[in-house]
């Protein structure tokens, strides 16, 4: 992949988007599930291996605050994050966190929106079983001066109306952003391509897996459960503004020879190319 970080306005910026539902740190693991204290090393090493030497952003779902601290410690001091606990807008509940290297990016703007009829305050929306959020971060790439919006979400696993309405709200938010053409959306939609949220988002954004000329690697399905009998399905995605180039798209393993499932979801990677002129201040 060509990855050049120059001050000129005609150079490309290549960004690797890594997204993973890491499974929250339950104290009552399901059959086949290993406690977070053992899983965390494998989760962190996957992030490290697949982002080292690259300009990268990492979108994680189902992250409790204690898990976030564990990962930042394992990844190293040059990593930071934006996100809030969904239950209170501070530290309670799961995060849809966006992680980044402070040597690569500076945050220009950030916001959390609740996917509900009252998006400015914590709470459930429509028929959702849980509180759900959209994390929005506007990054400035330090070396090139380019901007990139990174959005991360985790839609409800039970509320069909909540998934559809949440996707509509996300599309409305995207349309309201200043210069949304350098934007990626990652996350666990809890929707397969023929279900509620996907067709709504696919009207506004391009599914990275189906981008023109994209190179594919790995599996198609992203949800596995913690056994070999659960029905596999594709519910985790990286979408991008149609003006961006998605060069590579991969679904990575979540189990190796030791037999441990790192999560009940597989990580997803998309390599996105940002072109065009640099807007400088």
CB neighbour list of residue 194: distance below 8 Å, 6 or more residues apart: none
Task: Identify the helix (H) or strand (E) that includes residue 67.
Answer: helix 65-75
Residue 3 has pLDDT above 80, yes or no: no
Q: What is the pLDDT of residues 92-113, one digit of tens each?
A: 999 999 999 999 999 999 999 9
CA separation for the pair 199, 205 (Å, rounded): 10
**Mean pLDDT of all residues belonging to the chain:** 94
- Percent of the chain surpassing pLDDT 70: 94
CA nearest 170: which of 151, 193, 157?
A: 151
Both structure tokens of 255: 């189990």
Q: What is the pLDDT of residue 178?
A: 86
Q: Which helix (H) or strand (E) holds 164?
A: helix 160-176
Q: What is the pLDDT of residues 213-271, one digit of tens each?
A: 999 999 999 999 999 999 999 999 999 999 999 999 999 999 999 999 999 999 999 99
Q: Quote the pLDDT of residue 12.
A: 84
Give the residue extent of every domain in the chain.
Answer: 13-274
pLDDT at 277: 56
**What CATH number has the domain spanning 13-274?**
3.60.10.10
Q: List beta partners, residue 147.
A: 140
User: Could you give phi then psi for residue 20, rounded to 5 degrees?
Assistant: -160, 125
């Amino acid at each position: 992949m060509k990855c050049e970080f120059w001050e000129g306005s005609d150079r490309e910026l290549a960004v690797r988007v890594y997204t993973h539902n890491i499974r929250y740190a339950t104290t009552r693991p399901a059959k086949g599930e290993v406690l977070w204290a053992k899983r965390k090393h494998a989760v962190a090493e996957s992030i490290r291996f697949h982002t080292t030497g690259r300009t990268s952003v990492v979108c994680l779902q189902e992250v409790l605050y204690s898990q976030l601290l564990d990962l930042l410690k394992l990844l190293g001091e040059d990593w930071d994050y934006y996100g809030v606990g969904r239950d209170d807008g501070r530290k309670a509940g799961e995060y849809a966190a966006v992680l980044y290297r402070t040597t690569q990016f500076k945050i220009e703007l950030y916001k959390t929106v609740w996917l509900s009829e009252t998006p400015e305050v914590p709470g459930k929306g429509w028929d959702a079983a849980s509180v759900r959020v959209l994390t929005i971060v506007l990054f400035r790439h330090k070396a090139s001066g380019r901007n990139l919006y990174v959005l991360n979400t985790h839609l409800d696993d039970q509320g069909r109306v909540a998934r559809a309405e949440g996707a509509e709200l996300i599309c409305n938010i995207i349309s309201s952003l200043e210069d949304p053409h350098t934007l990626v959306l990652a996350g666990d939609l809890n929707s397969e391509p023929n279900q509620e949220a996907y067709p709504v988002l696919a009207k506004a954004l391009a599914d990275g897996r189906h981008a023109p000329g994209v190179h594919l690697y790995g599996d198609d399905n992203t949800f596995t459960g913690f056994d070999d009998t659960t029905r596999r399905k594709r519910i985790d995605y990286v979408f991008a503004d149609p003006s961006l180039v998605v060069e590579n798209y991969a679904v990575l393993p979540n189990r190796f020879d030791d037999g441990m499932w790192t999560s009940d979801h597989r990580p997803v990677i998309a390599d996105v190319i940002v072109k065009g002129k640099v807007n400088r201040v």
